Structure 1
Amino acid sequence: MLSEGLQGLDGARRPICVVGSGPSGLALATDLARRGIAVLLLESGGGDADPKVQALSAGTLTDPARHDDLMVATARRLGGASNLWGGRSMPYDPVDFTDRSWVDARWPIAYDELMRWFPAAAETTCGGAAVYTCAPMAAVSADRAFEADGIERGVNVPQAQIIHADAIARDPRLDIRTHATVTDIVFAENGYVNAIEIAHSLTGERARLHVDHLVLAAGGLETTRLLLAAQRTAEARFGGPDGPLGRYYMGHVIGEIADIVFGDEKSVDEFDFRIDVHGSYTRRRVVASMDTQLQHHLLNASYYPIVPPVADARHGSAILSMVFMALAFRPLGNRLVAEAIRTRHVPADPGSMLPHLRNLATGIPASIAFAAEFLRRRYGGQTRIPGFFVRNKARRYGWSYHAEQAPNRDSRIWLSDKVDRLGMPQLTVDLRFCDADADSVVRTHDLMEGWLVRTGIGRLDYRMAREERHDAVLALAAHGTHQIGLARMGAHRREGVVDDQLACFDAPNLHVASTAVLPTSGQANPTVSTVALSLRLAAHLASRLATPAAVTGGGRHHQTNDAGE
């Protein structure tokens, strides 16, 4: 059930409290409610975006060119980051769980354990099915240096609040409070969480709620912000000031340094969006095989064709100019894509629209037909296309990479001396890309160049000389919406903030369910993997609540931690 504010919370006690109503928070809370367990879920925002509430996420970027503005990288509203999600679903790969000496991270769970929860995660996120391969391309069968049978799926409903609308409206075991911002975590002497401090996001009204189990699912940045604030009252908590909390911040390395010219139209067809038998749009991706990655010490990366930069009218396409003008008009652009995505296609100074209008004049009928068909495929049925792909006679497209960012402890966030209007310290964000990130992208291109020619798929046409490519990758590197690694899983507290059950090493009844727990970034969008881990956590918590064992924590009854903390 959904209500606004803090009424009835001050001095109360709840067995499970979840902070954040994004994809992970709502998936976990509704799954627990389905299992018959009462859950309180706190959401800082309301049902719609509110600039006054969103301003609570303000902070400082050490390099604004590297990180999305915090006002668009987070979403304080019901549904959380699902309101920003482009809707691309895919799992991590087995290579991500392999011990790689050139990657400073280790997963404490196996790949098969994560994948065990993917069918439920795919269903929970309306992704069609947990099927992430398609029929191999015939040209690739004899040369497996790279693989082209992996796919991304487009989810049909990205917004978590829509997916879970029925439970939100009707389930009496689900108590969802909007405009409820957690400002502090109160710990007992034995390290367990005893209570949380909550403030009304608009009025500043305060309440203290006692909890048995607390799950932070407020996104990577905001979850880590709460943990860093909690560390101030006990410096050694969460590994201490030199520990992993707030470090190893990762997103993905994205961009293009080359175009692909396909050998024939059949190859172009293979990389277009298509609906599969499981009921969602899919798109083929190219990745280096595990053997290739391990042999050459590469970071994981996927590649796929995209249209030329829509802001550059020299593409001469009426359709692409129409897309650019739609995105440049912010009210319309925000209805089509999230602001963080829109700004990647529209420069701060878009310049004159006249060249785009000239392009549009050359192909008005085709542009109208494309717009009608795209809107139909995006909004007109049960399947939702996650992007667009405009064919051209030259068979020439940008060859886009979505690459793993290496864990780097100097890539980090910390609390600044500034506070928001509720008294919470603001974040300083220092997302860093390093030479290893760029080196891997360039060397993967080198290896793939020959493979594309050998298989007959096509050829690469680079946009700059070989000696300039490393710097070009670093110049393009910027992210901010995936927020990976800041409270990562580990085998022990020196290595991670949470254990293999997402429980904090130094606070066993405090769990983290966000992208922050992922030790590596891989090539995949992290959303569905995080939902899978959250559903795994829901089953774990339900099992503990079904077989309680007394542990004294702050004078209250707590459950033991069956991982032995």
Structure 2
Amino acid sequence: MDNRIFDLCIIGSGPAGIITALEYSKLNPEKTILLVEYGKSDTVKNPLDDSIIISNLTNHHPVYECTNKKFGGSSETWGGRCVMYDEVDFIDRPIINNGCTWDLDLFEEVKKYLSQTAAYFECGEAKFNLNQIDKFEKTRIADDFDSENISDSVVERWSMPTRFGIRYRKEIFANKNITLIEGYEARSFEKPIADGKVSLLELVDWDNKVKQIEARDFVIAAGAQESTRLLLRNLQLFKNLNDVPHSLGKYYQGHLSGKIASVQFYGNPKKTDYAFLRDDDGIYLRRRFQFKADYLIENNLLNTAIWLDNPLYYDPKHGSGAMSFMYMAMITPFLGKKLAPPAIADSITKGKVENLDKHLLNIIKGFPFSISKPAIIFFKRFMLKRKLPGVFLYSPENKYALHFHSEQIPYEGNTITLSEDGDKLLINYTLTDDDINSVIALHKELDQSLQKSGCGKLEYWFPEADLFNEIKKMSRDGIHQSGTTRIANSAEKGVVDRNLKIFGTANIYVCSSSVFPTSGQANPTFFLGAFAVRLAHELTYKK
């Protein structure tokens, strides 16, 4: 790498960084781009992750289950689920404590870039409602489902899953105007001049050798935790403001997630969409129960998706030889790591190694299907280009577990801060009572809707008095990180403006889910990709 001035320097090479680089390169083939990655291709442990301290490991995954510091970033262990945010996420509501600092106009603007985003994620057309797809229009999740407050037509789309590091490495290296350097940490920006421009960034490699980079524009796309750390270390960037934005490092949020009930459908079990659908392009889709915006607003509840799932793998009472076989494979140390990323594996096994004799009995009773079903699943999941995204087993009883995935309130007490010496990143994270009570209320509404239409009913796994504590124990995030550098219309409310530019600067941007002020029901990866495409256009056409 020479001493030239780059047109654009991007810090971080996860999906956001890669998409920004590739889209900007397409729009500006004559301009130069530097893509800076802290991790190395053989990275296992690293000093940055080792310096993160999490106060609440009950509700937050350990560090190495939350980040991937190497080319490809979070996509290295991403499941491939592509989900859209909803209109209600952009509407301020009392339950989120005036924490909605973006708006519907921005939502509509970002949606213009969904087709390009879907192409990067290889998840087909950017259609997230079955009523937009002719072959599925007006179909139902199960016999007799009908509800004025709940939709069963919203879907998640699935990528290959696209491992961005593998998928786009050749394209990045073949692109003559993109330079990738690995093993460098972005450490210090120079102070902005009077008009807010910053020209120099100091990089430090793993051997503490310093390198200075000069660029016309900078994009921080290092993931929520590291993007926040970089800004906390560079408060001089805000010298042209009256003060450092109050919200920097605050409102850290993710999702509540888990299972507290099953659904018993009354109709024909063969007509229940319990697993994946495929569109005409062979893309995997999956239905979700979602609560309509008017209902959420009127009842002051949080945006939540609920989908059909398998019973708990670790509990042999399910009686499925195939599930017992897959559970035992997941708890096998070497094999389990190959079958699923740590956070996903934990959601399946819950860290439990127990009742192995009963699981073995299930396998024997179910033989040979105990082995043949997992074998077919293994082939579809690992041997095909368009991989089976997950495993959902048919229930002849028409009974399925329900998995909830709920918005979290932007709570000021959930923070990412630096230690006094500046060497450690401290994460303080908890759940509020309103987070949990909303989950309970929405399960009750689903139950009432199913019973009213004659479609089915919910069967709770715990006594009603225990639901609050059970949800609090089972909900664990830290993977879907957002909120700490949030979008707003002013520095009094947020850290970046609607174009992702840091307040007080003229040419530094943040492209991370940390800019999302509300978490909604969706995991943030796909929607962040749409912001990355939009940012590449903003950098190209800005005045």
Query: When the two structures are superposed, what TM-score results if normalisation uses the length of structure 1?
Result: 0.89
Q: Does 1:167 align with 2:171?
A: yes
SS at 2:190's partner residue?
Answer: strand
Between the aligned partners of 1:373 and 1:264, the Cα distance in structure 2 is 28
Give the aligned partner of residue 136 of structure 1.
138
Partner deviation per Cα, 1:47-106 (whole Å, 9 max, x = no partner): 24x224365453111111111111221101110001121111111011112232322223
Contact 1:239/1:494 (CA < 8 Å) preserved in 2? no
2:276 to 273, 276, 279: 273
1:23 maps to amino acid: P
Deviation at 1:343, TM superposition (A): 2.1
Give the aligned partner of residue 217 of structure 2.
213
Q: Does 1:298 align with 2:292?
A: no
Give the aligned partner of residue 526 of structure 1.
524
Which shows bigger deviation, 207-216 or 100-109? 100-109
Contact 1:167/1:174 (CA < 8 Å) preserved in 2? no
Give the aligned partner of residue 318 of structure 1.
321
Give the aligned partner of residue 498 of structure 1.
496
Contact 2:161/2:389 (CA < 8 Å) preserved in 1? no
Give the aligned partner of residue 158 of structure 1.
162
Give the aligned partner of residue 61 of structure 2.
68
Structure 2 spans left out of the alignment, 5+ residues: 131-136
> How many residue pairs are counted as aligned between the two chains?
529
Between the aligned partners of 1:238 and 1:361, the Cα distance in structure 2 is 69
SS at 1:490's partner residue?
Answer: coil
Alignment of 1:77-476 (within 5 A): 77-103=70-96, 104-108=99-103, 109-134=105-130, 135-137=137-139, 143-190=147-194, 191-201=196-206, 203-231=207-235, 233=236, 240=243, 243-266=246-269, 269-348=272-351, 350-351=353-354, 353-417=356-420, 425-476=423-474
**Alpha-carbon spacing, 1:269–1:21, altered in 2? closer, same or farther (3 Å):** same
2:411 maps to amino acid: N
Query: When the two structures are superposed, what TM-score results if normalisation uses the length of structure 2?
Result: 0.92
**Alpha-carbon spacing, 1:59–1:274, altered in 2? closer, same or farther (3 Å):** same
**Alpha-carbon spacing, 1:144–1:377, altered in 2? closer, same or farther (3 Å):** farther
Between the aligned partners of 2:152 and 2:388, the Cα distance in structure 1 is 20
Give the aligned partner of residue 14 of structure 1.
6
% identical equivalent positions:
27
Between the aligned partners of 2:443 and 2:350, the Cα distance in structure 1 is 27
**Alpha-carbon spacing, 1:542–1:241, altered in 2? closer, same or farther (3 Å):** closer
Contact 1:250/1:405 (CA < 8 Å) preserved in 2? yes
Between the aligned partners of 2:511 and 2:112, the Cα distance in structure 1 is 17
Deviation at 1:417, TM superposition (A): 4.0
Contact 2:313/2:323 (CA < 8 Å) preserved in 1? yes
**Alpha-carbon spacing, 1:324–1:240, altered in 2? closer, same or farther (3 Å):** farther
Contact 1:124/1:163 (CA < 8 Å) preserved in 2? no
Alignment of 1:46-57 (within 5 A): 46-48=40-42, 50-53=43-46, 56-57=49-50
Contact 1:238/1:504 (CA < 8 Å) preserved in 2? no
2:138 maps to amino acid: P
Contact 1:271/1:285 (CA < 8 Å) preserved in 2? no
Structure 1 spans left out of the alignment, 5+ residues: 1-6, 420-424, 545-561
Between the aligned partners of 2:406 and 2:260, the Cα distance in structure 1 is 13
Which shows bigger deviation, 12-21 or 326-335? 326-335
Contact 2:419/2:425 (CA < 8 Å) preserved in 1? yes
Between the aligned partners of 2:351 and 2:382, the Cα distance in structure 1 is 28
Between the aligned partners of 1:455 and 1:283, the Cα distance in structure 2 is 22
Deviation at 1:132, TM superposition (A): 0.8
1:136 maps to amino acid: K
SS at 2:152's partner residue?
Answer: strand
1:44 to 38, 46, 53: 38
**Alpha-carbon spacing, 1:434–1:542, altered in 2? closer, same or farther (3 Å):** same
**Alpha-carbon spacing, 1:97–1:140, altered in 2? closer, same or farther (3 Å):** farther
Deviation at 1:352, TM superposition (A): 5.4
Between the aligned partners of 1:297 and 1:528, the Cα distance in structure 2 is 27
Between the aligned partners of 1:266 and 1:284, the Cα distance in structure 2 is 16
**Alpha-carbon spacing, 1:32–1:401, altered in 2? closer, same or farther (3 Å):** same
Partner deviation per Cα, 1:396-447 (whole Å, 9 max, x = no partner): 221111111111111111012466xxxxx22110112101111111111111
Between the aligned partners of 1:75 and 1:494, the Cα distance in structure 2 is 32
Contact 2:192/2:505 (CA < 8 Å) preserved in 1? no
2:117 maps to amino acid: A
1:212 maps to amino acid: R
Q: Superposition RMSD on alpha carbons, in Å?
A: 2.1
Contact 1:300/1:403 (CA < 8 Å) preserved in 2? yes
